């Protein structure tokens, strides 16, 4: 990845760690830590267990674990500021009070902030006087130098199913922290009703900050580092996450599941213990309770990050070519090892030995990824996987959906995972504006009989979400829908000739389907290319700059955007003339600016890959940093509906 010139994500990481350690240091002596399960992954991203140990953490338990004996006097809770957690903490403390002869000192660290509601619960439960409450302001967690996530696992469910806007508020806070550091985004561009809410919240926070901050010499001024902020509401394009991701990282996520950059693998695949992942991340901690797993079933967490150079090369490529890439690396590695025979003189041998560590590491990583690719291959070769793939590709391409129904029914009869069946049905519903009433009822019946009647609730949730609907419902509602039929042509959502080896278009991430969400981003950042597409010509590297070269925001695509669900907006943020100039003089006028693309409601690995692809193309003009509330895929979405 390119060296960081714009947003310094590493420093965000450092700040997160420092904040946590400061809190721990505030509690004198050894302590027992009770951790919110959903936080272990996010915290593992920046803090190792050994570091926590250095700061006196003696033992870690899950917050929902019943623990009746405590070795330490200090008990620390670290949890998200939810109502549920507040009650869990209160109950534990009240239970501990029944332990005779022991007195405890309680500290409660809430993240990302201390809330009035938690305070109120603690007060009502009568423990407010016994605890010291502090807050740990975790907002953005850098997953990669170009990828910031809030890691709010349930943000999708909250936003769209529960209509709870907490994650909008947190997203605004997170983006605000970037604005506070680097200045205002000169423009906030976006699509979708909730995206609009986020933009409003950002603007509100900015004005409030202006009022609040009596000390500052001036209000926030537009940044000279940042370019535009593009907010994409997930609602704008639900089809993309429902499709099966076909990049390497995307497929790992689809088949094994990536959580907070980590996957759980059979120990046999990982090979000999890797010191860096083994020596304990936070989540490996609570071994006290879990039954001793037998050696064969033992899973081991593996961190997937760009620090693994091989993975960094593979992650964004289409899975079809991963095999040959691995092959190439294997051969090169072999040659490198063979190099030892050429080493004749002592200094040559020394040179070789000094390379050896790197080679071994590479070897290790090669073994891991070969194993992983094989594991995935088992799935991608299966008949059911291919059948599902075929159905979805046909659906997005606009083939008459009724021809696909036999296939879907067969998948149901063969007990394919419910998630994958529902994903297909939802894609159909989105693309063709709902299912025909007869089909709709038939599939409902099929699913209930095949997977159980409890899925009445799942189907209801999907209907409420607008994922799986009958045409009657669709026709009756006044809400606008994203019309893939209208957009397919002008935005070139379907690309027939895909070059997976040397991709020339983002559609390679789904082997032929270009994610709508990213096409929209392209409308802003690659105007010439997209204009050409709209006019019907194949986009030829933007030689046809045309009239729109200097246009900004959505300019030139207003009509197309009418076929996409939700509000369209483009808000310039201006500052005082003088302050802007001062800032420009101080920082120099950067030609290359950072564009932040923020996904409200989550994004997929394929979308990240596609944006990186665009980023490489646009390298001269801008750097793209991706922000998201969480990383999602179709299975997560379906699981949310099933909950």
Partner 1 sequence: MTSAVSATADWEQLEDRFYRKILLYSELFGPDYDLNDYQIAGAPFSGAIALYKNDDVLQEFRSGAAQTKPSIEIYSSAGKLIRRIAYDKGPIRGLGWSEDEKLLVIAEDGTVRCYSDLQGDFTQFSLGHGVEMVRVKEVRFWSTGFVALLRTNRLVAVSRYDEPRPKYLADPSPYIEDAVIHSWAIIPPAYTLSRHVEVLLSTGSTIIVLDPTDAQDQDLQNGPFTNISVSPNGKYVALYTTQGKLWVIKADFQDKLSEYDSGMGSVILPRTVEWCGNDSVVIAWDDEVHMVGPQGHSLKHYYESRVHLIPDIDGVRLITSDKCELFQKVPDVTEDIFKIGATSPASILLDAVDQLEKKSPKADDNIQLIRSHLTEAVDTCIKAAGHEFSVYWQKQLLKAASFGKSVPALYSSDDFVDMCETLRVLNAVRYFEVGLPITYEQFIRLTPEKLIQRLVNRQQHLLALRVSEHLRLPTDRIYIHWACMKVRQSTDDEDSICRTVVAKLQGKRGISFEEIARTAYDEGRGRLATQLLNYEPQAGRQVPLLLNMEEDEIALDKAIESGDTDLVFFVLLHLKKKHPLANFFRIINDRPFAAALVESSARETDLELLKDFYYQDDRRADGAHVILRESMEAKDLQLKLEKLKVATKLLSDSKDHVLEAKALDESAKLLHMQETFERELNERFMGISVNDTIFRLIRTGYSSRALKVKNEFRVPEKRYWWLRLRALVAKRDWNEIEEWGKTKKSPVGWEPFFNECLAAGNTKVAAGFVGKCSNLGYKERLDMYMRCGLVLRAAEEASKGKDLEALEGLRSKAVGRDMVEVERLIKILKGGK
Name the residues that contact partner 1, by CB under 8 A. Answer: 28-29, 73, 81, 83-84, 87, 105, 113, 115-117, 120, 129-130, 132-133, 158, 162-166, 168-169, 172, 197, 200-201, 204, 207-208, 210-215, 383, 409-410, 412-415, 441, 444-446, 448-454, 456-457, 460
Q: Which is nearer to partner 1, 293 or 437 (CB)?
A: 437
Q: Which is nearer to partner 1, 445 or 535 (CB)?
A: 445
Q: What is the DSSP code string of 60-97? A: EEETTS-----S-SEEEEEEES-HHHHHHHHHHHHHHT
DSSP 575: -
Q: How far apart are CA 336 and CA 546, in angstroms?
A: 51
Biggest alpha carbon distance in the chain? Answer: 83
Return phi, psi of residue 297, to 5°. -90, 0
For residues 464 and 159, the answer to whether their CB atoms sit within 8 Å is: no
Q: Which is nearer to partner 1, 68 or 454 (CB)?
A: 454
Closest separation between CB of residue 168 and partner 1, Å?
7
Q: Which is nearer to partner 1, 273 or 452 (CB)?
A: 452
Return phi, psi of residue 600, to 5°. -90, 120
Closest separation between CB of residue 167 and partner 1, Å?
9
C-alpha count within 13 angstroms, C-beta hemisphere, residue 365: 23
Closest separation between CB of residue 1 and partner 1, Å?
34
Place of tokens 């620390």: 76
**Three-state SS annotation for 418-463:** HHHHHHHHHHHHHHCCCECHHHHHHHHHHHHHHHCCCHHHHHHHHH
Of 110, 50, 418, 48, the residue nearest 262 (C-alpha): 48
Q: How far apart are CA 548 and CA 552, in angstroms?
A: 8
Q: Which residues on adjacent β-strands are paired with residue 62?
A: 35
Enumerate residues 6+ apart whose C-beta is below 8 A from 141: 12, 13, 16, 42, 45, 46, 148, 149, 150, 151
Q: Which is nearer to partner 1, 82 or 364 (CB)?
A: 82
SS3 state of residue 251: helix
Closest separation between CB of residue 81 and partner 1, Å?
8
Q: Which residues on adjacent β-strands are paired with residue 627?
A: 148, 598
Q: Which is nearer to partner 1, 2 or 415 (CB)?
A: 415
Q: Which residues on adjacent β-strands are paired with residue 191?
A: 232, 568
Q: Which is nearer to partner 1, 349 or 472 (CB)?
A: 472
> From the CB of residue 400, how many other CB atoms can be counted at a distance below 10 Å?
9
Q: Which is nearer to partner 1, 289 or 445 (CB)?
A: 445
Q: Which is nearer to partner 1, 106 or 319 (CB)?
A: 106
SS3 state of residue 544: coil
Closest separation between CB of residue 68 and partner 1, Å?
23
For residues 424 and 395, the answer to whether their CB atoms sit within 8 Å is: yes
Closest separation between CB of residue 211 and partner 1, Å?
5
Q: Which is nearer to partner 1, 461 or 530 (CB)?
A: 461
Task: Work out the angle at residue 401's Cα, subtended by the Cα atoms of residues 398 and 405, and round it to the nearest 5 degrees.
Answer: 150
For residues 579 and 217, the answer to whether their CB atoms sit within 8 Å is: no
**Residue 642 zone, left/alpha/beta (φ > 0; ψ -120 to 50; rest):** alpha
User: For residue 433, what are its two tokens?
Assistant: 């504006």
C-alpha count within 13 angstroms, C-beta hemisphere, residue 409: 12
Q: Which is nearer to partner 1, 18 or 414 (CB)?
A: 414
Q: Which residues on adjacent β-strands are paired with residue 318?
A: 247
Q: What is the DSSP code string of 139-165? A: --EEEETTEEE---TTHHIIIIIS---
Q: How far apart are CA 70 and CA 106, in angstroms?
A: 12
Closest separation between CB of residue 572 and partner 1, Å?
21
Q: Which is nearer to partner 1, 48 or 165 (CB)?
A: 165
Q: Which is nearer to partner 1, 10 or 643 (CB)?
A: 643
Place of tokens 């350690």: 21
For residues 202 and 162, the answer to whether their CB atoms sit within 8 Å is: no
Q: Which is nearer to partner 1, 350 or 414 (CB)?
A: 414
Q: Which is nearer to partner 1, 129 or 291 (CB)?
A: 129
Q: Which is nearer to partner 1, 234 or 315 (CB)?
A: 234
Give Cα separations from 449 to 413, 470, 476, 477 (angstroms). 10, 19, 28, 29
């Amino acid at each position: 990845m390119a060296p960081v010139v714009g947003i310094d994500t590493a420093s965000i990481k450092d700040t997160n760690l420092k904040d946590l350690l400061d809190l721990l240091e505030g509690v004198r002596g050894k302590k027992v830590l009770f951790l919110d399960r959903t936080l272990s992954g996010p915290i593992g991203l920046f803090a190792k267990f050994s570091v926590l140990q250095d700061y006196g953490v003696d033992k870690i338990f899950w917050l929902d674990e019943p623990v009746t004996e405590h070795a330490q006097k200090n008990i620390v809770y670290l949890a998200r500021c939810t109502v549920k957690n507040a009650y869990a903490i209160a109950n534990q403390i009240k239970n501990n009070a029944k332990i005779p002869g022991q007195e405890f000192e309680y500290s409660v660290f809430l993240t990302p902030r201390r809330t009035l509601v938690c305070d109120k619960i603690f007060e009502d439960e009568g423990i407010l006087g016994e605890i010291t409450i502090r807050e740990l302001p975790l907002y953005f967690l850098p997953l990669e130098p170009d990828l910031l996530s809030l890691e709010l696992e349930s943000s999708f469910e909250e936003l769209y199913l529960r209509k709870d806007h907490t994650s909008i508020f947190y997203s605004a806070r997170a983006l605000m922290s970037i604005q506070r550091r680097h200045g205002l985004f000169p423009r906030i561009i976006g699509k979708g009703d909730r995206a609009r809410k986020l933009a409003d919240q950002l603007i509100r926070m900015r004005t409030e900050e202006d009022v609040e901050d009596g000390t500052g010499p001036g209000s926030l001024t537009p940044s000279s580092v940042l370019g535009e902020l593009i907010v994409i509401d997930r609602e704008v394009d639900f089809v993309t996450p429902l499709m099966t991701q076909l990049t390497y990282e995307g497929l790992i996520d689809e088949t094994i599941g990536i959580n907070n950059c980590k996957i759980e693998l059979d120990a046999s695949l990982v090979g000999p213990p890797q010191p860096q992942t083994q020596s304990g991340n936070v989540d490996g901690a609570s071994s006290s309770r879990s039954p001793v797993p037998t050696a064969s079933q033992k899973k081991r967490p593996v961190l997937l990050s760009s620090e693994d150079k091989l993975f960094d090369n593979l992650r964004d490529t289409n899975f079809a070519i991963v095999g040959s890439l691995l092959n190439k690396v294997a051969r090169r590695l072999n040659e490198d090892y063979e190099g030892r025979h050429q080493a004749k003189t002592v200094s040559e041998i020394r040179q070789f030995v000094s390379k050896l560590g790197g080679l071994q590491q590479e070897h290790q990583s090669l073994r891991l990824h070969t194993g992983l690719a094989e594991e995935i291959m088992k799935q991608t070769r299966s008949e059911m996987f291919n059948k599902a793939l075929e159905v979805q590709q046909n659906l997005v391409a606009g083939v008459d959906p009724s021809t696909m129904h036999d296939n879907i029914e067969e998948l149901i009869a063969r007990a394919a995972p419910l998630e994958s069946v529902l994903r297909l049905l939802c894609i159909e519903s989105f693309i063709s504006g709902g299912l025909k009433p007869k089909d709709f009822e038939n599939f409902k019946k099929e699913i209930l009989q095949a997977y159980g009647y409890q899925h009445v609730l799942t189907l209801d949730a999907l209907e409420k979400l607008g994922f799986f609907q009958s045409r009657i419902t669709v026709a009756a509602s006044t809400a606008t829908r994203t019309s893939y039929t209208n957009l397919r042509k002008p935005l070139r959502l379907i690309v027939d000739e895909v070059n997976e080896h040397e991709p020339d278009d983002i559609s390679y991430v789904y082997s032929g389907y270009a994610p709508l969400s990213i096409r929209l981003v392209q409308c802003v950042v690659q105007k010439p290319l997209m204009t050409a597409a709209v006019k019907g010509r194949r986009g030829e590297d933007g030689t046809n700059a045309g009239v729109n070269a200097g246009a900004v925001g959505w300019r030139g695509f207003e009509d197309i955007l009418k076929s996409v669900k939700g509000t369209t907006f483009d808000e310039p943020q201006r500052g005082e003339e003088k302050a802007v100039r001062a800032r420009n003089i101080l920082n120099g006028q950067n030609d290359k600016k950072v564009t932040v693309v923020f996904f409200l409601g989550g994004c997929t690995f394929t979308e990240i890959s596609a944006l990186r692809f665009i980023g490489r193309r646009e390298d001269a003009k801008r750097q793209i940093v991706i922000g998201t509330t969480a990383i999602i895929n179709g299975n997560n979405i379906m699981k949310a509906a099933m909950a």
